[in-house]
């Protein structure tokens, strides 16, 4: 049996997500994390819905309705703010590119552009640079154990560790470069998986929507979406999903000094 990329045999977490998308109304297959039509995160939608249901169903014994509403409204407001934060990218896209309605998720069906489309030369160059400076296990361990405080993302090579529960395993490397107003990256993982794309920055977080990256596995390309958070200790926490499966991948990246 061929092992699925990024397979996590020691740590599995069930996915509890709504089937019906609250944004476009599409009914997705059971276990779907990201809506196949509009890209809405169905698990986040479920969490927000359940939290709102608990507030609306709560019974405050001996307290008047006005008192309950006084306590509930701030929480409902917080839930709305959280939802807006989770969907800021999609909302901004809809407001600023009305003529391109639906284009973002449609582009997810063509992630091969990062290998053979317009502008792929930059990623080809980054890939060659990554292979030429790919860190060894000892280099990766030194970077992980000696990680120092960082306040900004920086160009260079990072060792990538897959998170398996409470443990980490060295699985590859990623090269990061800021050019033309965006962060571009190429990663090689487990020797057979390659990721390419670009991300936008908001303070200490990089984020990429479905049309902004791709993963190649077994000569086939799949869309990818995710985010990377730079922690004060210099560790970059990465979370991402692909349309290859419904698994949400968690990893950590450590800057390799001098590369």
The secondary structure of the chain, three-state, reads CCCCCCCCCCCCCCCCCCCECCCCCCECCCCCCECCCCCCEHHHHHHHHHHHHHHHHCCCCCCCHHHHHHHHHHHHHHHHHHHHHHCHHHHHHHHHCHHHCCHHHHHCCCCCHHHHCCCHHHHHHHHHHHHHCCCCHHHHHHHHHCCCCCCCCCCEEEEEEEEECCEEEEEEEEEEEEECCEEEEEEEECCCEEEEEEEEEECCEEEECHHHEEEEECCEEEEEEEEEEECCCCCEEEEEEECCCCCEEEEEEEECCCC
Percent of the chain at pLDDT above 90? 47
Name the nearest CA neighbour of 148 among 256, 30, 44, 1: 256
Least confident of 2-6, 121-125, 159-163, 210-214: 2-6
Residue 73 covered by a domain: no
Q: How far is CA 21 from CA 36, 37, 82, 190, in A?
A: 9, 9, 17, 34
Assess whether pLDDT exceeds 60 at residue 246: yes
Residue 236 covered by a domain: yes
pLDDT band at 16 (very low <50, low <70, confident <90, very high): confident
Residue 162 covered by a domain: yes
Residue 251 covered by a domain: yes
Residue 62 covered by a domain: no
Residue 113 covered by a domain: yes
Residue 186 · residue 174 · CB < 8 Å: yes
- Stretch 133-147: mean pLDDT: 95
Beta bridge partners of 224: 242
**The predicted structure's pLDDT at residue 161:** 97
- Stretch 38-61: mean pLDDT: 67
Residue 39 · residue 104 · CB < 8 Å: yes
19-46 pLDDT per residue, tens: 887 777 788 787 777 777 777 777 777 7
Residue 79 covered by a domain: no
pLDDT band at 165 (very low <50, low <70, confident <90, very high): confident
CATH number at residue 129: 2.40.128.120
pLDDT band at 82 (very low <50, low <70, confident <90, very high): low
Residue 194 covered by a domain: yes
163: domain range? 109-255
Domain count of the chain?
A: 1
């Amino acid at each position: 049996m061929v092992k699925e990329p990024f397979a996590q045999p020691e740590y599995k977490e069930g996915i509890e997500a709504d089937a019906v998308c609250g944004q476009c109304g599409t009914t997705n297959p059971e276990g779907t994390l990201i809506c196949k039509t509009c890209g809405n995160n169905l698990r986040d939608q479920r969490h927000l819905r359940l939290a709102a249901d608990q507030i609306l169903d709560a019974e405050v014994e001996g307290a008047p309705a006005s008192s309950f509403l006084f306590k509930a409204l701030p929480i409902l407001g917080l839930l709305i703010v959280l939802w807006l934060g989770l969907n800021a990218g999609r909302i901004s896209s809809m407001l600023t590119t009305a003529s391109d309605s639906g284009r973002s998720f449609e582009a997810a069906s063509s992630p091969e552009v990062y290998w053979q489309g317009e502008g792929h030369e930059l990623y080809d160059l980054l890939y060659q640079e990554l292979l030429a400076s790919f860190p060894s296990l000892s280099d990766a361990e030194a970077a992980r154990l000696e990680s120092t405080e960082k306040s900004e993302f920086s160009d260079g090579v990072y060792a990538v560790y897959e998170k398996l529960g409470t443990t980490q395993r060295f699985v590859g490397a990623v090269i990061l470069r800021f050019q033309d107003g965006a962060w571009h990256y190429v990663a090689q993982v487990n020797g057979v998986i390659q990721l390419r794309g670009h991300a936008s920055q908001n303070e200490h977080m990089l984020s990429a929507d479905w049309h902004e990256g791709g993963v190649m596995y077994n000569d086939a390309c799949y869309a990818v979406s995710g985010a990377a958070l730079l922690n004060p200790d210099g560790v970059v926490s990465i979370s991402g999903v692909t349309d290859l499966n419904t698994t949400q991948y968690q990893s950590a990246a450590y800057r390799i000094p001098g590369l």
